[in-house]
Amino acid sequence: MSSSEFIRQRSADGHSPNSEESITMKKIVLAVSLVALTGFAMAGPSCTVPKDKWLKEADFKKDLVSQGYQIKTFKVSNGCYEIYGTDKAGKRVEIYFDPATGTPVLSK
């Protein structure tokens, strides 16, 4: 390749279109895209029950404990009750529950 052809190939910022930096940038964009998509795929469920139909948190927690769960963290996430803890076998759990019925909607 002649020097004039090389100069014409260089982009406005002074880098060759196939430069190592361009490849690195493509890898970064791909990695960020994959992380974003994974985040959407791993998001929890959404519960749409009106709050006036929900079980009382204290009663719900008491029922879970009576089933052998140990609750480390309890929270409301996307309208669902969500717990982090262990089951009666000591296995770590993350479970989303319908707040009106107490039925599990997703276990991880």
- pTM for the whole structure: 0.61
Q: Which tens digit of pLDDT belongs to each residue from 9-48?
A: 555 555 555 566 666 555 555 455 544 444 444 578 999 9
Q: Check residue 44 and give its pLDDT.
A: 83
Torsion sign, CA atoms 50, 52, 55, 56: positive
Beta carbons within 8 Å of 72's beta carbon, 6+ residues apart: 83, 84, 85, 86
Q: Which tens digit of pLDDT belongs to each residue from 44-88?
A: 899 999 999 999 999 999 999 999 999 999 999 999 999 999 999
pLDDT of 89 > 50? The answer is: yes
